[in-house]
Amino acid sequence: MSNTATQIPYKIYLREDQMPAAWYNLRADMKTKPAPLLNPGTGKPMTEQELSNVFCQELARQELDGETRYIPIPDEIRNFYRMYRPSPLVRAYCLEKKLKTPAHIYYKFEGNNTSGSHKLNSAIAQAYYAKQQGLKGVTTETGAGQWGTALSMACSYLGLDCKVFMVKVSYQQKPFRREVMRTYGAEAVPSPSDTTAVGREILARYPDTTGSLGCAISEAVEAALSQPGYRYVLGSVLNQVLLHQSVIGLETKTALDEYGIKPDLVIGCAGGGSNLGGLIAPFMGERLQGKSDCRFLAVEPASCPSLTRGVFAYDFADTGRVCPLAKMYTLGSDFIPAPNHAGGLRYHGMSPILSQLYHDGFLEAVSVPQREVFQAAETFARVEGILPAPESAHAIKAAIDEALRCRDSGEAKTIVFGLTGTGYFDLVAYQRFHDGEMTDEIPSDEALARSLKKLPRV
Ligand SMILES: *Cc1c(COP(=O)(O)O)cnc(C)c1O
């Protein structure tokens, strides 16, 4: 490292004209591509035609495009990005000092917009293509509420209807997120609901269920298919979402390149994999081309450990089994994680792109219990000032652990992590942590084996 620490500012801000003009499609540089989505009826790969019954046409195309390396970002989307991008890359000097580590720590902060997370990067893209196609509106699910909020903002900006099936437990526990969505004109429905056939069926079978993402997805898909002029959109997992989120990584790389910095380790929390997939994209591209030996680490909650304890197999993307089958690390589509406080990390499967990279040894993964995560969140908030989302704090926890290893070994590694959002809507969780009421929920091997027994045979 030729730079002395003092030459690098606390925040590296890019100019607007340094924002990426195109998304980077990591699949183009993967030798082993992620496996195709399969039609659950025929077992054959989904065609663009089939996908476009559910998704917008252009998004169906992006989903299937494993070859085009750069896909231009339409001007209207770039203009929207200008409201809150480029986002800052922060050198965590205060955290380094606190940890007495020789490591250099950077974080890319995506919480600088009203939705409070990176999800807006894909929400505006998906809403834009729906509008382009002349659709009336979109339906979706939301767990913790960040995706629903982001999509509401994007839809109100473009004048589209937005119907959000919100996992019931979050709908009840997070009334404020609901109100943000309503402020942006979206309709929020607690899921499972009696407004869809699949919701009614799940309610009949499990009357006390507090809902799950898998179930809300089934309802949202059904709602889109049963109304002309509507399509379904999804905030994570899919190839198209990782594509849009590549703006995070592209900006990070431009900022680091300005100072000649090469990361040794890039860390991100992983729910469905979109922020991590976007953050690592250009760095992983270099690694796949043999131009770098940067390491990559996915951090997941011990309560929902799809990479570290799941299996790599075709599975249903949703509880109602209406979506295409995806080959991914999965805990089984029936798996309902304990109600941990990182709602954005409660999906049973992982992005097919990240799953393939993990399977091929390019990505590492670790799972962490939630009390240690909140401890890390608090340490971070006290020195860096930002109140992190519980999801983001998973990445903080792993970055701190690595920085402490550097302290012991004396290595001055460069660590970059994704700070995906802020935690203002998660203060009940912080309260539980401070009051000593938080527990670590770790599923038993038997519980995982039970849900994995129901994987589809492909
Ligand atoms: C949704 C969310 C995540 C997890 O989703 P990914 O698709 O894995 O990125 C992480 N952090 C925040 C703040 C979120 O809202």
Distance 438 CA to ligand 1 centre (A): 21
Domain stops at, among 189, 223, 239? 239
Give dist(CA 299, CA 415) in Å, integer. 14
Q: Are 227 and 246 contained in the same domain? A: no
Q: What are phi and psi of 312, to 5 degrees?
A: -95, 100
User: CATH no. for residue 196?
Assistant: 3.40.50.1100
DSSP 235-253: SSSSHHHHHHHHHHHHHHH
Q: Note whether residue 5 is domain-resident.
A: no
Name the residue of 181, 237, 345 whose CB sits within 8 Å of the most ligand 1 atoms, as the mutation to test its pocket. 345
Residue 28 CA to residue 26 CA, distance in Å, equals 5
- From the CA of 392, give the closest atom in ligand 1: 11
Are residues 112 and 203 part of one domain?
Answer: no
Question: 407 and 269: one domain?
Answer: yes
Q: Are residues 186 and 278 in the same domain?
A: no
Tell which residue, 401, 426, 379, has the closest CA to residue 174: 426
**CA nearest ligand 1 atom 10, residue:** 391
0.75 surpassed by pTM: yes
Residues 112, 165, single domain; the answer is no
Pocket test for ligand 1, best of 110, 120, 146, 239 (most atoms within 8 A of CB): 146
Q: What is the DSSP letter of 27?
A: G
Residue nearest (by alpha carbon) to ligand 1 atom 5: 271
Task: Tokens for 190, please give them.
Answer: 């607690």
Domain end: 191, 206, 239, which one?
A: 239
Helix (H), strand (E) counts: the chain = 18, 15
Query: Using CA positions, which residue lies closest to atom 14 of ligand 1?
Result: 344
Say what the pLDDT of residue 344 is.
77
402 Cα: distance to centroid of ligand 1 (angstroms): 21
259 and 234 share one domain: no
Within 6 Å (CB) of ligand 1, which residues are found?
117, 119, 146, 236, 269-275, 344-345, 389, 391-392, 420-421
In a domain, 347, yes or no: yes
User: Ligand 1 centroid vs 420 CA: distance in angstroms?
Assistant: 7
Measured in Å, residue 147 CA sits from the centre of ligand 1 at 8
The Å distance, Cα 278 to ligand 1 centre, comes to 11
Ligand 1 centroid–CA 235 distance in Å is: 9
Examine residue 1 and state whether it is found in any structural domain, yes or no: no
124 and 62 together in one domain: yes
Measure the CA–CA gap between 210 and 193, rounded to whole angstroms: 11
**458: in domain:** no
* Per-residue model confidence (pLDDT) at position 143: 86
Give nearest CA residue, ligand 1 atom 1. Answer: 344
Q: In angstroms, what is the span from residue 108 Cα to ligand 1's centroid?
A: 14
Which residues, listed in sequence order, are joined to residue 65 by a DSSP beta bridge?
none
Residues 299 and 398 in one domain: yes
What local confidence, expressed as pLDDT, does residue 4 receive? 52
**Given this model, what pLDDT does residue 399 score?**
98
User: Distance between terminal CA atoms of the chain?
Assistant: 49
To test the pocket of ligand 1, the residue of 108, 117, 233 to mutate (highest count of ligand atoms within 8 Å of its CB) is 117
Among 274, 275, 299, the mutation site with the greatest number of ligand 1 atoms within 8 A of its Cβ is 275
Contacts of 375 (CB under 8 A, 6+ apart): 397
Task: Tell me how far the alpha carbon of residue 44 lies from the centroid of ligand 1, in angstroms.
Answer: 30
Q: Distance between CA atoms of 231 and 229, rounded to whole angstroms?
A: 7
Radius of gyration of the chain (CA): 20
8 Å CB contact between 161 and 155: yes
Please give the distance, rounded to the nearest whole angstrom, from the Cα atom of residue 339 to the centre of ligand 1.
Answer: 16
End-of-domain residue from the set 222, 239, 256 = 239
- Report the nearest-CA residue for atom 2 of ligand 1: 344
List the domain range (segments joined by +) for residue 331: 11-21+84-116+242-452
Torsion 89-302-406-249 (CA) sign: negative
Assess whether 291 and 391 both reside in one domain.
Answer: yes
Residue 190: count other Cβ atoms within 10 Å of its Cβ: 19
Would you give per-residue pLDDT tens digits along the chain (458 residues)? 444 555 899 999 999 999 999 999 999 999 999 999 999 999 999 999 999 999 999 999 999 999 999 999 999 999 999 999 999 999 999 999 999 999 999 999 999 999 999 999 999 999 999 999 999 999 999 988 999 999 999 999 999 999 999 999 889 888 899 999 999 999 999 999 999 999 999 999 999 998 888 889 999 999 999 999 999 999 999 999 999 999 999 999 999 999 999 999 999 999 999 999 999 999 999 999 999 999 999 999 999 999 999 999 999 988 778 889 999 999 998 888 887 677 778 889 999 999 999 999 999 999 999 999 999 999 999 999 999 999 999 999 999 999 999 999 999 999 999 999 999 999 999 999 999 999 999 999 999 999 999 999 88
Identify whether residues 197 and 331 lie together within a single domain: no
Using the atom order of ligand 1, give the atom closest to the CA of residue 422.
13
| 103 Cα: distance to centroid of ligand 1 (angstroms) | 26
Task: State which ligand 1 atom lies nearest to the alpha carbon of 273.
Answer: 8
In a domain, 2, yes or no: no
8 Å CB contact between 422 and 132: no
